[in-house]
Structure 1
Amino acid sequence: MYCRAMAYGTAPPVSPPFQRSDQLNRESSSDLAIRHGIRDVPTEWDDRINSDLKATILDEIYPSLWLVGQRSPVHVDPLHKQVLKNRAITIAEDPKLHLVWYYNTVYIKPLPVYLLNHAIWEAHLPEPVGEAPEHRSRYDKYRAALGFLRSYGLLIRHESDFIIAQRANLLPKYVSFQRFQIFIQPFRSCSDDQVSLRYQYGQLRLTRLNWAVRIIKFYRIISRKQTQERLPWNYQEQLWQTSQHIQKYATPLIFVFAVLSLILSSMQVAFAAREATTWDAFVRVSWGFSIAILVFAATLGVLVIAPVLLVVIVHYRSAVRRRTQ
């Protein structure tokens, strides 16, 4: 049974999207609850599923995500391509880090085994019908589950991806590639309308997300816009020690200091040479060399800043074009 378009109050329940014979986990609900450290009651299952699947911050800043990422569900590199890009696959249990990459690291949340169980979907992840608030809450949970599993369908497209996933402890060892392909196929056909807001985007860059939440938080402070969720100043902190902060910011500060010192020294030489009345040849050389250094420093600054500005402009225009398509 495949995912299909649905709207509140118009679609009958179609949950789970896979047949019972295709489930990959056959444990009882009570055993799965013990495995995940909860009691086998609906409220604790709801809390567990929400904490495992809902990326609250990304859902909240969704209207601004087009500036920092590509709104495309297929913008997810399969695992073998992540390796080709020299990215280390790092387990992250926090759903906000799922499919977020940072330089040579990509964070991926392991697939919760209860999502492989047909009975759990029937009991705790039914596709809700109606527009009552409690139905909307269940609908958000259901959409998050669909989006999360669709992301795994994109991460694991080849048998090599499957092998990498098992080596990285993203999947249970008892699952075979053939059975996984049968199970995951319905989720690959889910549309953006059926998944939660976060999963309408693929992988995202952590450095851009950090800047996005800072800018949005600062804007809310100066505009006095109150929201239910308070944004942090960093989407995910990466610098945990003072020495790391010094290493990160010292290099650009030293570069700026060196350039400014070079400019000031050249200006001093130029003014001193202009006022000198003896040794005309040395005065002319000093004057010319000082002007050359000033031109060199200005050119260096342009060469450093211009590519960065160009990349920002190109990415912004590309984001605007994709948004208007």
Structure 2
Amino acid sequence: MPYNPPFSASDALDKHPLRTGPAASSPTALEHAPDQPNVALTQNDVARFLKDELNTAILDRMYPWLWLCTAMDSARIDALHKQIIKRRTIIASEDPALHLVWYRSDIFIKPIPPALLNYEFWKEYLNGQPQQFDRRVVLGFLRSYGYLIRHRTDLRLAIKEGLVPENIDWLQWERFIAPFRLLEDDEVGLRYHTGQLRLSRLNILIRILRPREDGDVGTNRHYHQTQWYTASYMRQFAGPLLFIFASVSLLLSAMQVILTLPSDPPWHTWVVHSASIADAFWGFSVTVLVALAFSWLLLIGGPIVYLIAQQLFGYQQKCKFQKRLAP
């Protein structure tokens, strides 16, 4: 049974009539997908276009293990104004695999293709037929925008960054996006069962799972490469190597002080309490060694404990999510 568009014709943000719609005889009716003059209005061409624009096959294959990268909570998406508060740079990316993926101070967001704002386009090409692109992926994608744009400030930021068309006003947006905010997780694609994803963890996970197959773009070494030339790649090791070198130098110096101190210091005419000074030097050197060992324990053990705590939290969220999806 064909599904109706989730929004009404009056709430559509793209009003262009299509040759396949009720206004096919109109001289202004489009013979191509809105904003895509090279995409003919045939089921195959539109399905190929939507696959290029929204397909997240790699994340879908990694889905059972995505809880290691983020909490299984589709609402964990910061609004655009909050991204700015967190000092993140919003980067418009046309790669659907990078939608809502963040790395350090950047977050990648896929702009909305104008065709998805057209009522007739939904009615003809996103009505749930087997030969069409998976409607649930499109529903999840637009639902994510329901979280990204929650206030007038968010809409202004979205227009500024080129994420939505410039001619949209706040009331129009709210009427259009309202039905998508009501969607449940079992109504959207697998990737949209989660919210924002951390790129550094995706890069680790893809090396373990190796989900890319022959013909897929990219390699299993990176989900998305962050270093594009050798110098920047090597520079990231400079800090840790410098810390290790300084630690080893301090360790050897402290050990040298301990070994060179005699057990019964000789009497020096210019030092009144030479034995006490030797004991102080020995105690200070041992304290340095203990402090150095404690620093390494914090440096290595701290992140491990933090990572384990995060994974336990992620696993608990995954169990709760599966209970919510269970019939």
Distance between the aligned counterparts of 1:37 and 1:203, measured in 2?
Answer: 32
2:319 counterpart (310, 321, 324): 324
Superposed displacement of residue 185, structure 1: 1.1
Q: State whether structure 2 residue 288 is matched by structure 1 residue 299.
A: no
Counterpart position of 1:232: 220
Counterpart amino acid of residue 10 in structure 2: S
Q: Give the share of equivalent positions with the same residue, in percent.
A: 36
Distance 2:234 2:219 in 1: 25
Partner of 1:212: 205
The 3 A distance-change label for structure 1 pair 276 and 255 is farther
Judge conservation of contact 2:32–2:40 (CA < 8 Å) in 1. no
| TM-fit CA distance, 1:180 | 1.5
2:230 aligned with 1:242, yes or no? yes
Mapping of 1:2-41 within 5 angstroms? 12-27=1-16, 28=18, 29-32=30-33, 35=36, 37-41=38-42
Query: Residue 274 of structure 1 contacts residue 287 of structure 1 at CA under 8 Å; is this kept in 2?
Result: no
In the alignment, structure 1 residue 193 sits paired with structure 2 residue 186: yes
Other-structure match for 1:97:
98
Moved more, 40-49 or 156-165: 40-49
CA positional deviation for 1:163: 1.2
Name the structure with the higher helix share.
1
Find the counterpart in structure 1 of residue 62 from structure 2.
61
Could you tell me which residue of structure 2 aligns to residue 258 of structure 1? 246
Q: TM-score, normalised by structure 1?
A: 0.84
Following superposition, the deviation at residue 268 of structure 1 comes to 2.9
* Matched residue, 1:88: 89
> For 1:163, what is the secondary structure of its paired residue?
helix
The 8 Å contact of residues 34 and 114 in structure 2, kept in 1 or not, is answered as no
Q: Which has the larger radius of gyration?
A: 2
Task: Tell me which residue corresponds to 1:8.
Answer: none
Residue of structure 1 equivalent to 2:324: none
Give the 3-state SS of the residue equivalent to 1:101 in structure 2.
strand
Deviation at 1:265, TM superposition (A): 2.7
Contact 1:91/1:108 (<8 A) preserved: yes
C-alpha offsets along residues 25-70 of structure 1, whole Å, 9 cap, x if unaligned? 1223424366364344332221110111111211110000011101
The two structures have a TM-score, normalised by structure 2, of 0.84
Indicate conservation of the 8 Å contact 2:33/2:40, yes or no: no
User: 1:137-216 maps to which residues of 2 (within 5 A)?
Assistant: 138=132, 141-216=134-209
**In the alignment, residue 190 of structure 1 is paired with which amino acid?**
L
Whether the 8 Å CA contact 1:33–1:39 is kept in 2: the answer is: no
Query: Could you say what the CA RMSD is over the residues aligned between the two structures, in angstroms?
Result: 2.5
Report the number of matched residues. Answer: 300
After TM superposition, give the deviation of residue 314 of structure 1 in Å.
1.7
Provide the residue aligned with 1:315 in structure 2: 310
User: Residue by residue, what CA displacement relative to the aligned partner does 1:191-211 show, whole Å, maximum 9, x if unpaired?
Assistant: 111111101101111112112
Distance 1:156 1:36, change over 3 A: farther
- What runs of 5+ residues in structure 2 fail to find an aligned partner? 19-29, 268-273, 321-327
- Unpaired runs of 5+ in structure 1? 1-11, 129-134
Aligned to 1:45: 46
